[in-house]
Amino acid sequence: MQSSKQLKPPVTETYDSLLAPGQSLNSVTTKISDIVLFPVLKTPVGWIIGFVAAGLLLMLYLYSLATLFTVGIGIWGINIPVAWGFDIINFVWWIGIGHAGTLISAILLLFRQDWRTSINRAAEAMTIFAVACAGIYPLIHTGRPWLDYWFLPYPSTLGMWPQFRSPLEWDVFAISTYATVSVLFWFVGLVPDLATLRDRSTSPIAKTLYGLASLGWRGAAKHWQRYEVASLLLAGLSTPLVLSVHSIISFDFAVAQLPGWHVTVFPPYFVAGAVYCGFAMVIVLMIPIRRWFGLEGLITMKHFDVMSKVMLASGMIVTYGYFGEIFYAWYSSSVYEYYLIVNRFTGPYAWSYWSLILFNVLIPQVLWSKKLRQNLPVLFFVSMAINVGMWFERWVIIVLSLHRDFLPSSWASYTPTFYDWSTYIGSFGLFFVLFLLFIRFIPMIAIFEVRDLVHKTTAHTADHEESGHAGA
């Protein structure tokens, strides 16, 4: 119960294994559930400070949205020709972050990668909260969000239907499906752990609430069998879903005929970028969390090593995309495509293009070194750089393509306003408020999956303190 308050002993890092040695079913269950199960009044001060800070950012967000709704989108810096600015940049950025959670929870489940076990729950939570932050942008960027139900096909008195051939309408279906399936998948994964909390909590209120949320899970063999089938099916559905969502988002650009957007490489390039940025965000969140909650035995250096390698690989795909864009500009012989690249290299926003190359291509190269991969301050810095770099990537794609298109007479520039920034920074408030509530009330590591990993790795040695009565 006092695990989060006691003085931290010196950390012994585990480098070659997914679990520190000497874990049992009971020890991992106690370790993870004790982070959640302690009285509300004994919440750590650090959590409260974080929650207040995130809450203030959330207030800034609500203030920005209230101003937006009462005044209109004229408070933003967008205009013609740059009609998509921070709203769509941040939408794509946030939803890209979310994709790492689905990748870890679904794709790595199908590939039976055990290293996903300690990080999948937090990564899935990150997905849901990032999708919430992302989904708000397209809703508010319409300027009249109270009419957003027009996106949906409903039998209206106007006799009109949405344009089902438009990528913007595909977005509506892709994102709402993604949000729904992510929440369902997450909740199904939570049920056995909520039952563990129900059985371990001593407070009657906690027992009742976790009891209701766990739906009466009792670990019956029949239920486990159905449960595993359902998990596998959901993973199998989520895998093409996550690829389709970012592909459809890339169609928002690729289907348009604007230089810099009209390229066939966009779907894989966007998906790889999403994985890149999402893994960076998982690392940024996990490095402090494992330290604060003493989870070094469950989230080991091996996890960071594997995640760094995924980041490096997806970063190389993204880099290939950057070179590909330069190649197309030359190979297409289109003056507009060619000018776009010249504008990126030397135009008024060249600083953003070179920042993108610095943050996304150059800095992450340090991950080739195993020594630097396993140096957490370095890894944290690199991951932050990737998050910033991926934000610049969306900026470059959106603003640099829009501000100078075919006719020089329609060229203009784009400068974000205070409200652009406050809506963006404020959305972190929403994200962190939700994330802090999550780590306070829900086990941030999937307990039953870690138990399963312990069970597999200890290979039928006795799970109890008593003398092992291993079966034949």
Q: Which is nearer to other proteins, 187 or 338 (CB)?
A: 187
* Alpha-carbon span 382 to 366, nearest angstrom: 8
- What are the backbone angles phi and psi of residue 72, rounded to the nearest 5°? 120, 170
Cβ proximity to other proteins, 52 vs 152, nearer residue = 152
174 binds other proteins (CB under 8 A): yes
Q: Which span (11-19, 95-103, 392-400, 451-459) binds other proteins, by CB under 8 A?
A: 451-459
226 interacts with other proteins by CB under 8 A: yes
Is the separation of the CB atoms in 446 and 114 below 8 Å? no
Nearest to 322, CA basis, from 367, 250, 384, 266: 266
Q: How far apart are CA 411 and CA 426, in angstroms?
A: 31
Counting contacts by CB under 8 A, is residue 466 touching other proteins? yes
Three-state helix/strand/coil letters over 48-75:
HHHHHHHHHHHHHHHHHHHHHHHHCHHH
Q: Does 267 bind other proteins (CB under 8 A)?
A: no
Residue 471 binding other proteins, by CB under 8 A: yes
Q: Is 152 in the site for other proteins (CB under 8 A)?
A: no
Report, in Å, the least distance between residue 238 CB and other proteins. Answer: 8
Judged by CB under 8 A, the residue of 39, 46, 143, 153 near other proteins is 153
Rounded CA gap, 122 and 100, in Å?
11
**Cα–Cα distance for residue pair 427/64, rounded to 1 Å:** 10
Out of 48, 139, 335, 462, the only residue in the binding site for other proteins (CB under 8 A) is 462
170 binds other proteins (CB under 8 A): yes
The answer to whether the CB of 326 falls within 8 A of the CB of 263 is no
Smallest gap from residue 249 Cβ to other proteins (A):
11
Is residue 288 close enough to count as binding other proteins by CB under 8 A?
A: no
Q: Closest separation between CB of residue 333 and other proteins, Å? A: 27
- What values do phi and psi take at 258, rounded to 5? -75, 140
Determine if 24 is a binding residue for other proteins (CB under 8 A): yes
Q: Is 3 in the site for other proteins (CB under 8 A)?
A: no
Q: Which of 122, 181, 298, 386 binds other proteins (CB under 8 A)?
A: 181
Chain residues 315-334 in contact with other proteins, contact rule CB under 8 A: none
Rule CB under 8 A: is residue 457 a binding residue for other proteins? Answer: no
Q: What are phi and psi of 158, to 5 degrees?
A: -75, -15
Least Cβ distance, residue 120 to other proteins (angstroms):
15
Does residue 196 bind other proteins (CB under 8 A)?
Answer: yes
| 154 makes contact with other proteins (CB under 8 A) | no
29 lies in the binding site for other proteins (CB under 8 A):
yes
Q: How far is the CB of 182 from other proteins (least distance, A)?
A: 10
Residue 234 makes contact with other proteins by CB under 8 A: yes
Binding of other proteins by 10 (CB under 8 A): no
Q: How far is residue 62's CA from residue 64's CA, in Å, rounded to a whole number?
A: 5
* The binder of other proteins chosen from 223, 291, 309, 440 (CB under 8 A): 223
- Please tell me whether residue 112 binds other proteins under the rule CB under 8 A: no
In this structure, are residues 120 and 445 in contact, taking their beta carbons and an 8 Å threshold?
A: no
Using rule CB under 8 A, residue 217 touches other proteins: yes
For residue 124, the minimal CB distance to other proteins (Å) is: 14
Which of 20, 108, 16, 17 shows the shortest CA–CA distance to 295?
20
Q: Which of 334, 358, 452, 457 binds other proteins (CB under 8 A)?
A: 452
Q: What is the DSSP string of 115-172?
A: GGTTTHHHHHHHHHHHHHHHHHHHHHTTS-GGGGGGGS----TT-----TTSHHHHHH
DSSP conformation class of 410: G
Select the residue interacting with other proteins from 59, 152, 233, 425 (CB under 8 A).
233
Smallest distance, Å, CB 445 to other proteins?
14
Residue 264 interacts with other proteins (CB under 8 A)?
Answer: no
The nearest distance, CB 230 to other proteins, in angstroms, is 4
Cα angle 78, 129, 175; round to 5: 65
Count of beta carbons in the 10 Å neighbourhood of residue 348: 13
Total of chain residues touching other proteins, rule CB under 8 A: 71
The yes or no reply on residue 5 touching other proteins (CB under 8 A) is: no
Q: Minimum distance between the CB of residue 378 and other proteins, rounded to whole angstroms? A: 36
Task: Please identify, among the stretches 52-60, 115-123, 209-217, 387-395, the one whose residues bind other proteins according to the rule CB under 8 A.
Answer: 209-217
Q: Give the whole-angstrom CA distance, residue 114 versus residue 454.
A: 11
3-state secondary structure of 100: helix
Closest to 286 measured CA to CA, from 274, 298, 275: 298
User: Rounded to an integer, what is the distance from CA 366 to the centroid of its chain?
Assistant: 23
CB of 401 closer than 8 Å to CB of 260: yes
Of 14-22, 125-133, 187-195, 277-285: span binding other proteins (CB under 8 A)? 187-195
